[in-house]
């Protein structure tokens, strides 16, 4: 390493943040200097990947929540084959749809706890829900939640997914929003597209 790259500079930061970082460094058996450099290196790494640390940590938190909820990753082709098979049995299909809705309710409860400070700010809460759904429903290439009358409208696009898969995704979203007092008023589901309007019924 060159002498130039080893030069040190003074960084100014809030005292409470420095104290917290210093405490973390001691717990790890590291020096404040080396721990701070590690943080800066990872921040640079994230920026080089096109993300900031906040987004990276938010994604990690969601991934951890998925793991805690015993979620598994299933190839789209496998999921489609399973759904096509159970579609032949209306009773089984109804059971699976209800399970998707229950899974959505679990995430709704998670959001209500994780972002409880935003519960009184409807607009901010909807943005958090939209962001989380984009993170956990990889099938969706786009998702928009916006106010509509006395409720909200949810539109999502997943070009490669069948009507049956989109129905499952819609049930999941309905489960999430039900936790916050929204019920379905209108539901349009097509191949690769969902368009659902919700009415606000109760306070979360």
Going by C-beta distance under 8 Å and a sequence separation of 6 or more, which residues neighbour residue 54?
none
Going by C-beta distance under 8 Å and a sequence separation of 6 or more, which residues neighbour residue 145?
126, 127, 129, 130, 133, 152, 153, 154
Q: At what angle do helices 122-136 and 163-178 cross, to 10 degrees?
A: 140
pTM of the model: 0.73
Q: How far apart are CA 80 and CA 77, in angstroms?
A: 5
pLDDT in tens, the chain (204 residues): 444 556 777 888 888 988 999 999 999 899 988 998 998 898 888 889 888 888 788 778 777 777 777 777 777 778 788 888 887 888 888 888 899 999 899 888 888 887 776 566 667 778 878 888 887 777 778 889 998 888 999 999 988 888 888 898 899 999 999 998 999 999 999 998 999 999 988 655
Q: Which residue has the tokens 């399970």?
A: 99
Q: In what order do the strands lie in the sheet with 151-157?
A: 142-148, 151-157, 193-200, 182-190
Domain ranges of the chain: 15-50, 59-200
Pick the CATH number of 59-200 from 3.30.1380.20, 3.90.550.10, 3.40.50.300, 3.90.1150.10: 3.30.1380.20
């Amino acid at each position: 390493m060159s002498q130039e790259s080893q030069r040190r500079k003074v960084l100014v930061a809030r005292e409470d943040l420095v104290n917290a970082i210093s405490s973390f460094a001691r717990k790890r058996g590291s020096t404040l200097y080396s721990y701070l450099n590690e943080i800066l290196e990872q921040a640079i790494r994230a920026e080089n990947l096109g993300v900031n640390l906040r987004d990276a940590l938010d994604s990690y938190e969601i991934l951890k929540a998925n793991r805690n909820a015993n979620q598994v990753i299933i190839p789209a082709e496998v999921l489609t084959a399973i759904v096509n098979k159970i579609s032949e049995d209306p009773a089984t299909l109804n059971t699976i749809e209800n399970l998707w809705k229950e899974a959505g309710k679990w995430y709704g409860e998670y959001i209500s706890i994780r972002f409880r400070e935003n519960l009184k700010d409807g607009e901010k809460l909807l943005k958090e829900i939209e962001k989380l759904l984009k993170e956990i429903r990889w099938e969706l290439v786009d998702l928009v939640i916006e106010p509509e009358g006395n409720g909200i409208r949810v539109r999502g696009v997943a070009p490669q997914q069948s009507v049956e898969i989109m129905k499952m995704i819609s049930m999941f979203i309905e489960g999430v929003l039900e936790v916050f007092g929204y019920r379905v008023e209108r539901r349009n589901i097509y191949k690769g597209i969902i368009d659902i309007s919700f009415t606000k019924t109760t306070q979360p």
